[in-house]
Structure formats: C-alpha cells, structure tokens
Amino acid sequence: MSDSISIYMAQLNPTVGAVAANCEQIAAAYARAMIQGADLVLTPELSVTGYPLEDLVLKPFFVRTAMQAVAALAEITAEEGAPGLLVGSPWQDGENLRNAVVLLEGGEVRELRFKHNLPNYGVFDEIRVFDAGTPPTPMVFRGIKLGVMICEDMWYPDCTASLASAGADILLVPTCSPYELGKHTERKRYSSNRVSESGLPLIFCNQVCGQDELVFEGASYVMAADGSIPVELDAFFEEEYLTSWTRTADGWVCDSRHQGYAPDTQEGMYQAMVLGLGDYVRKNRFPGVVLGLSGGIDSALSAAVAVDALGPDKVQCIMMPSRYTSGESLGDAEQCAKALGVQYDVIAIATGVEAFDEMLKDAFAETEPDTTEENIQSRLRGLALMSISNKFGKMVLTTGNKSEVSVGYATLYGDMCGGYNALKDLYKTEVFALSRWRNNVVPQGALGPGGEVVPDNIITKPPTAELREDQKDEDSLPPYDELDDMLKCLVDEEMSVADVVARGHDASTVARIEHLLYIAEYKRRQAPPGVKITRKNFGRDRRYPITNGFRSART
C-alpha cells in the first residue's frame, strides 16, 4: 500500500461538442503531468464533451462518439508506470444515459462512477437528459481508495457518507460549477461540510470557460481535513498544478502550497464578462465584434470589455448620430474609441430617418409623433450594425443593461439587435461602478490599455437615449439607485410589491415597475444571450410566462 501520491489538477477550457479537440487538450495536459511525475491526472466533469450538453447528449451518435473517444484516450495510459487519468463523459449504461467519470489506467477503462444527484434548478436541468446513478463507492487506484463525487454529489451528504463508510482516503470532485456572485464562497461552504462530516481531504477540480450564457471560473482547490485551503488555482484562467500527498497516522495530508489569482467581487464580475464574451466569439469563430458607440456609459463599458477580451484590432465601434445626438456625445464616443485604440467610424442615420418618415407619412397621417418615431432611429442603427455584420462577418455586440431590459426600455430589432450582450446581467448602478473600477485597474490578462478608457464625462453626465429633444432616462424612470433596488427585490429575490414598499419605496412606483417588468417578458425572450453574473439572470434562471395576468399589487 502506497504512502504517497501525486495528483495533477487539470483546470481545462473545453468546448461543448468538440470531442476531438477536447481530447487533444486532455492528452496535452496528461503529457505535462507525466513529465512532472504525476501518479493521477484529474480533469473536470464531462471533460471529454464539455458542459452543459443540453439536448445534444440525447443524440445517440454523439454519445457513441464520446465513449469511443474515452477508449482512445485510454491508450495514452498504456505505458508501464504511466499516470492514471480521470475524465468525464456521457455514458450509455444499458437503457440508462449517465453522467460518468471514468478511470483510465494501463491502457483500459478500469472504473466507472455515475453522478447520483442530478441538479434540476436555476440553469440546471440534468434530470431532463441523464439518469441518476446510485451513491458511489470508492475507486481503488494503486492501493488508495479515491472517493469520486461528480459536482452536485458534493452538495448533499449522502454520497460523502457512502464513500466514507466504504473507507475512502481522499475525496475527488470533478465539477462544472458556473460563476455567479457568491458562488465560490458557497462551494467552499459545501466542501467544508463534507470534509467536516467525513474527516477526509477534498480536491475540487472545475472547468474554466465561457459557454453561451454561463461562465465557469475555475478556481479549483484542495481542502484539507481541517478545512484549510493549501492549494487554490487561478480564477478565470486555465491552470494545471501537481499536488503531493502523504499518508499519516491521521489520514492523507496535502504537502503542496499554492495560491492562484483570486479577484475581488468587482474584478470577478468584470473577468466573467471578459471570459464569457471572449470564448463566445472565439469558439463560434467570429473574426471580431462591431457595436454602436453612442457616447453613453453602456456602450463605453461594452467596448472596454470587448477590447480586454479580444484586443483592439478585433473591435469596431460605430457612432450613428441622428438630429438629436449632441456634440457632447459625439466627442465622448470619439474620446472613448481613441482611448481603447479601436477602429472608429461614423455612420449618420439622419437621411435614413427622413426616408422612413416619407415612406410612412400616409400611414401615419393625422397622428402625433411618439415613441414609434423614436424607435425608428434605434432600428435604423440596428440595421446598420447588422449590415456591417453581414458584410464582414463580425458579431454585433449589444449593450443594454439589466435595468433597461427589466422594464422594457429597449427596442426590439433596434438596440436589442445582435448576437451577444456582455452587460446583460448588470444593473445600471453596477455599470457605473465597473466603469469607474476599470478606469483605475487593468485586469489580469486584459488585452486593452490602462488609464481612463471610459471618459469621466460619460460616467458623470445624466443617462439619455437621445431619441428626442432634452430626453433623460429619469424623465420616466426613478433614479437608478432606487430603480435597481426595486428590481433586485422583484427579480433576484422574487419579492411582492408590498414587500418592496416595506423597504421604503413608493407604492405606486413599485406597482408600475412590476407591471413594466411583466409586460417586457416578450422582449426578453428575443434578447441575445449574455453573461450570467447574478443568481437570477434573465434566461434559464428565470422562466416566466409571456402571457401573464398576475400582479402582486392587485391581489
């Protein structure tokens, strides 16, 4: 029986569905681990296929492809004394489709374990596609009993209890746990509970990538039996690390010490947007992005995120002035573009607006101008951006924040027109805060410049859509600090109007905001994907009906 083991943590960035490329990535990490003398290589949950698979995993040929890839990966472990390899893959188990972790050693599949606790909440619906396994027993690897739990299996005590009662030595948790505010603390709390209950140390190995609306920030770690964290890998970046372990009279002890990049809350929010947007553009093979730069704060921060994610050479900003665009906005947009070093173009829409007015004058005869005419401007801008996208292949980046999208202050087929929205889950007050933060900090790994990338005047001037004379956002909305507090209550906390009013808000205003929230659902269903930041993003976290007669103010 061995009294030592070295376990290589491979915090990888897979692409969903790209089985061959993912296996090449695993094999490359395995080769590096072998050079360093690893005994075992641990990869994240479903590392062969990427995660989440959604309904792709219901395609039988895809599952067969993944299983064949696992068999091929086993061949790299055939050399005598080569490390073992733990990979994740969907697995056809008779009539059941499983979320599996597979131990490869000696050129073959040695052990299989299936995920027992399938999550079915928030962004997760694994019960839809996978069949649950039984509580696991340890895998025996070179005389050591490895207690392998797959992600959600760590959230509940039953799998840990099963493994501990069967004599597990070390708990291993291959996982795909997505980023949201407070999630890393939550993971460590559950890890601490399992370690405390079992008296066993734990290795938590997460993937690091953007996958559509989800970001997985990595931040893998080792938790010792006393609850301390001797090893923690980088958040938001790929990292691999060899951990060394020794058997003592009190159990297995991690002898390694390592502290990776651990951003604070604001930097974490920003890095999530950078990783999510960057991977979305790269993995979908867009040559770059194009966005409207209005001279306002949302588009300025969106441009900064895009430059940090992709580099200035892959970002095109277009100012599209109308008769209502102020000289101040023109100057602010140009200053922002110069600070970021991006391609900057001006495409005036005034002649297009005039053409539409002429085209619709008979249909609109004897009516007064209203938001219809305002929205024509927004839709012409969307048309211009989509035309650039169509001609050059660049993805249109939309720039609306969560506050606007919540209350429907966004134009379908206008400023909502595009392929991705990095700011989708940021409230307006958070947009202001992150803009100030970015002016003072260059995030780790950022491809953009330092300094004042969001001009101070953009941050300090009153927000406006500039679709009519002297327009300001607060003409028809509460101040954003008040609005965002109401929205966090109504959206993130699912509070009633009465509950929100009890916090000190005006009753009629809260009732109006709730009504706007509900009637804008049809717009949100047509919005592009964007990075999940909060516990309740508009997307898979919050699935409200479009046709909805409920209002808590009327009950």
What's the pLDDT tens digit per position in 400-412?
Answer: 999 999 999 999 9
**pLDDT averaged over the chain?**
96
Report pLDDT for 554.
67
Span 490-517, mean pLDDT? 96
Q: What is the mean pLDDT of residues 422-442?
A: 98
In the beta sheet, which residues pair with residue 290? 316, 396
The per-residue pLDDT for range 288-304, each reduced to its tens digit, is 999 999 999 999 999 99
Q: Cis omega before residue 52 (within 30°)?
A: yes
Q: Indicate which residue of 23, 105, 151, 514 is catalytic.
A: 151
Residue 473 is predicted with a pLDDT of 64
Q: Is the pLDDT of residue 127 over 70?
A: yes
> What's the rounded Cα separation, in Å, for the pair 484 and 501?
14
- Report whether CATH 3.20.20.150 matches the domain 266-554: no
φ, ψ at 183 (rounded to 5°)? -70, -40
- The strand pair at 289-292 and 315-319 is best described as parallel
pLDDT(472) > 80: no
pLDDT tier for residue 286 given thresholds of 50, 70 and 90: very high
Res 2 pLDDT > 90:
no
pTM exceeding 0.85? yes
Looking at residue 526, what is its pLDDT? 95
Q: pLDDT (tens digit, 9 = 90+) per residue, 62-78?
A: 999 999 999 999 999 99
What pLDDT, on a 0 to 100 scale, did the predictor assign at position 467?
Answer: 64
**Structure confidence at residue 553 (pLDDT):** 73
User: What pLDDT score was predicted for residue 476?
Assistant: 79
> Which residue out of 45, 217, 232, 374 is catalytically annotated?
45
Distance CA 93, CA 251 (A): 34
Q: Is 115 a catalytic residue?
A: yes
* Amino acid letter, 264: D
CATH number of the domain located at residue range(s) 4-262 in this protein: 3.60.110.10
pLDDT above 70: residue 477: yes
Mean pLDDT across 478-485: 95
Q: How high is the pLDDT of residue 464?
A: 74
* Mean pLDDT, rounded, for 490-507: 96
SS3 254: strand
CA distance 221 to 202: 8
* 1 has pLDDT over 70: no
State the Cα–Cα distance between residues 103 and 14, nearest whole angstrom: 19
Q: For 456-476, what is the mean pLDDT?
A: 76
Whether the pLDDT of residue 468 is over 60: the answer is: no
Residue for token pair 């829409």:
349
With a cut of 70, say whether residue 436 has pLDDT above it.
yes
> Is 45 one of the annotated active-site residues of the chain?
yes
pLDDT of res. 154 = 97
Tokens of 506: 């005006």
Report the alpha-carbon angle 123-127-133, nearest 5.
Answer: 125
pLDDT at position 500, please? 96
pLDDT tens-digit map of 167-181:
999 999 999 999 999
Return the domain boundaries, the chain.
4-262, 266-554
Host H or E run for residue 530? none
Cα gap 276→296, rounded to integer Å: 23
The answer, yes or no, to whether residue 140 has pLDDT greater than 90, is: yes
Catalytically annotated residue among 115, 188, 314, 523: 115
Percent pLDDT > 70 in the chain is 98
Write down the pLDDT at residue 362: 93
Q: Is 450 helix (H, G, I), strand (E, B) or coil?
A: coil
* pLDDT higher than 80, residue 555: no
pLDDT surpasses 80 at 374: yes
User: How confident is the model at residue 26, as a pLDDT?
Assistant: 99
State mean pLDDT over 336-342. Answer: 98
Contact assessment for residue 11 and residue 238, using Cβ atoms and an 8 Å cutoff: yes
Task: Please report which confidence band the pLDDT of residue 462 belongs to, taking 50, 70 and 90 as the band edges.
Answer: confident
Closest by Cα among 418, 405, 458 to 436:
458
Query: Which of 55-69, 211-225, 368-382 is least confident?
Result: 368-382
Q: What are phi and psi of 237, to 5 degrees?
A: -135, 150
DSSP 96-129: EEEEEEEEEETTEEEEEEE--S---STT--GGGT
